[in-house]
Chain A
Amino acid sequence: MTASQTSFKTRAAAALADRTLKVAIDRTTATAERKRAAAVAAFPEFAAARERGEAIKNHVIAHLDHYLVMFESNATAAGAKVHWAADGAEARAIVTRICRDAKAKLVTRSKSMLGEEIGLPHALANAGIERVETDLAEHIIQLAGEKPSHIVWPAMHRTREQVAELFKASHHPPPAAADPATMVQSARRELRAKFLGADIGISGANFLIAATGATCTVTNEGNAELTTTPPRIHIVTAGIEKLVPSTAHAFTLLRLLVRSATGGELTQYTTFHCGPKRAGDADGPEEMHIVLVDNGRTKMLADEFRTMLRCIRCGACMNHCVVYRQIGGHAYGGTYPGPMGSVLTPVLDGLAGARDLPHACTLNGRCAEVCPVGIPLPTLLRAWRSRSWRERREPRALRAGIGFWALVARRPTLYRLVSRIGVRMLRLFGSRGWIARLPLARGWTRHRDLPRPAGRTFMEQYRANQAKQGARA
């Protein structure tokens, strides 16, 4: 059963009941939160850098056509072939056509969320091409037949014991022990021959540099360079919002990206890939293809979700999200989980199937606080809620409830009367300051108590207070 065939509530309930999952999520997100805080504390200029990062992304978005054309012209001059894809289907068709034309049997892939977004893994399988994921976490989830549960740590939902089982079943020879170091060595051995034997290497891009036509990848493992150097063809798939004017602009954003993602300052490898192998070069692919993918991005440019195009995919919003940290990434059901995913999934998959996501948010604002490019995520989530209301996608009981509330709220005398009755009724269900069970509100009281209200409404107390002060004066 795939995630999209079940409802968000079912998936979230299953995730909440999974103790192992909670342990796995806590281990990674808690470390990420702590390391990010330390990295930001050690960089007093972070706030200024963040404003600049936001301004750079806004600048690019405001001149997106200009920079796309500039990038295309410079990448072409460097010898790359630039392709354009309006949606996922077009992007998949371009990539599989290049693979087929090259008679490719084995493709290595360096982690790319855009690749997941456009369904590239599936498309390659359908085309009969062996695909080997080379990022360690992607290797783990490929063996498990799963989707990523986090945009930076795709396998963070798996404990080391679960990883050991997967490796034991599929590595030749199997790893000698179940500690992370031995398992990493085993994956290194297992994948080395694949890197060197691949016909095509596919990567994503963290940035597209308009001034040079280069694509930039950042990794800690070194798998991007091992994926893109030995094969005859290198294919890049990238969203059109990844553009930056120049290498220097990319560096401003890299300082924010890495600190926000892992708490490091730079990843171990930051690589600018500019065209194919030059005449005389010791190694490198003979062809480089870059697929520029829209897939909903121009639609976001035109509506209230434009600021979401600033996203640099660091994952800080999910690491700091109280909901994500309870249910993990798979429960969200889309390519991108957490707060940024709850904004993007309705764009990519439609609001009809994703209506629950913008609602599964406490609006506590932690995501916006840590976002390195200042995306107002709670505002965007509220925008989806309003759209869902306007499109009449809210459940009937909710619509009726809010309709009734609006009816009363527009009539102050009636509103005060109803609330006076309400607080007095509510007090009947409480004892020692808390309400443990409440009819019609079991969904709330099953998991937590409601504070018992004060004996009188705010307006009653306010009036009494004013009268007392009036008497004193």
Chain B
Amino acid sequence: MTARDRILAAIRSALPRSRPSPAAIAAEAAALLAAPDLARPKLAGETLVEAFERKATALGTTLDRVPAMAAVPRAVRRYLEGQGLPLALALQRTSALTGLDWSGFDTHGDLAPDETAALGLALWGIAESGSLVVHSGADTPILLSFLPLHHLVLLREATLLPYLEDYADRLASSDSPRNAILITGPSGTTDIEGSYVRGAHGPGFLHVILIAAGGE
């Protein structure tokens, strides 16, 4: 008998002999998700933007709101200059970003192991938790969200979702990417005496540039 057979046999002998059908099990599982509002927190604001902003900034994420995509390079300049950094950054190779006017910037696609700053695009934002969603893909290296010290993320207001479950629905109805990541604040650790320190392995700074609805 293989380990698989032994494990499954041990489970089956510990459980009742007569078992519900897969359809009945699925119905039971679905019932455990019914009326989700009873078991999840209320949003932290009147609107999705307000709730998202409140949650994200409470975790040390900074946020800049711009009216349209064309204003993104200016917002990036504002951030980098504010941090005293040169106008250089790694750019996610998605046309929404590479198609913008980056004159005056040194942009590149390949990430250095100690990259200072990188700009990526979030697929969704989650208002409940102030999280950003990134999926791996041909134009989205996962390391773009982890190697840089300053992680800048573009988020479209129109892609804000209220709750984690709303994102679970989106994920379930698409082909699963290799990695689906919820980013909720800059990297941090409390491993030395419980003191909170930012930039443990991932980015020490997380900056969201929020594009107003209609400005895509």
Taking Cβ atoms with an 8 Å cutoff, the residues of A that contact B are 24, 27-28, 31-32, 42-45, 48-49, 51-52, 55-56, 59, 62-66, 68-69, 78, 84-86, 90, 134-137, 140, 153-156, 158-160, 163, 180-181, 183-185, 187-188, 191-193, 195-196, 211-214, 220-223, 225-226, 229-230, 240, 245-249, 251-252, 254-255, 262, 265-278, 280-284, 292, 294, 298-299, 301-302
Please determine whether B113 and A191 come into contact, CB atoms closer than 8 angstroms: no
Complex Cα spacing A240 to B11, Å: 11
Complex Cα spacing A211 to B190, Å: 33
Stretch at the interface among B67-75, B78-86, B98-106, B134-142: B134-142
Those 7 A-B pairs whose CB atoms lie nearest each other, nearest first? A222-B202, A298-B10, A221-B200, A282-B141, A302-B14, A248-B168, A137-B191
Please determine whether B177 and A278 come into contact, CB atoms closer than 8 angstroms: yes
Please determine whether A278 and B178 come into contact, CB atoms closer than 8 angstroms: yes
Please determine whether B3 and A90 come into contact, CB atoms closer than 8 angstroms: yes
Please determine whether A222 and B146 come into contact, CB atoms closer than 8 angstroms: yes
Distance from A161 Cβ to chain B, minimum over Cβ atoms (Å): 10
Contact with A221, one of B6, B28, B189 (Cβ below 8 angstroms): B189
Task: Kindly list chain B residues whose C-beta atoms are within 8 Å of the C-beta of A248.
Answer: 33, 164-165, 168-169, 172
Chain B residue nearest to A292 in the complex (CB): B7
Complex Cα spacing A230 to B176, Å: 20
Task: Kindly list chain A residues whose C-beta atoms are within 8 Å of the C-beta of B113.
Answer: 192-193, 196
B residues 8-47 in Cβ contact with A at 8 Å? 8, 10-15, 19-20, 22, 25-26, 28-29, 32-33, 37-41
Interface size on B, residues (CB 8 A): 76
Complex Cα spacing A65 to B22, Å: 11
Complex Cα spacing A278 to B177, Å: 8
Please determine whether B180 and A282 come into contact, CB atoms closer than 8 angstroms: no
Task: Kindly list chain B residues whose C-beta atoms are within 8 Å of the C-beta of A185.
Answer: 199
Any chain A CB within 8 A of the CB of B185?
yes
Contact with B171, one of A192, A230, A247 (Cβ below 8 angstroms): A247
Any chain A CB within 8 A of the CB of B181?
yes
Any chain A CB within 8 A of the CB of B108?
no
Please determine whether B138 and A281 come into contact, CB atoms closer than 8 angstroms: yes
Contact with B184, one of A42, A158, A163, A270 (Cβ below 8 angstroms): A270
Task: Kindly list chain B residues whose C-beta atoms are within 8 Å of the C-beta of A223.
Answer: 200-202
Task: Kindly list chain B residues whose C-beta atoms are within 8 Å of the C-beta of A294.
Answer: 3, 7, 10
Please determine whether B39 and A84 come into contact, CB atoms closer than 8 angstroms: no
Please determine whether B202 and A301 come into contact, CB atoms closer than 8 angstroms: no
Distance from A452 Cβ to chain B, minimum over Cβ atoms (Å): 42
Contact with B192, one of A44, A134, A163, A262 (Cβ below 8 angstroms): A163
Contact with B190, one of A183, A262, A265 (Cβ below 8 angstroms): A262
Distance from B174 Cβ to chain A, minimum over Cβ atoms (Å): 11
Any chain A CB within 8 A of the CB of B159?
no
18 residue pairs from A and B, CB less than 8 Å apart: A24-B193, A51-B39, A59-B32, A154-B191, A193-B113, A213-B176, A220-B189, A221-B187, A222-B146, A223-B200, A225-B179, A226-B143, A245-B26, A255-B40, A269-B183, A270-B131, A280-B137, A282-B93
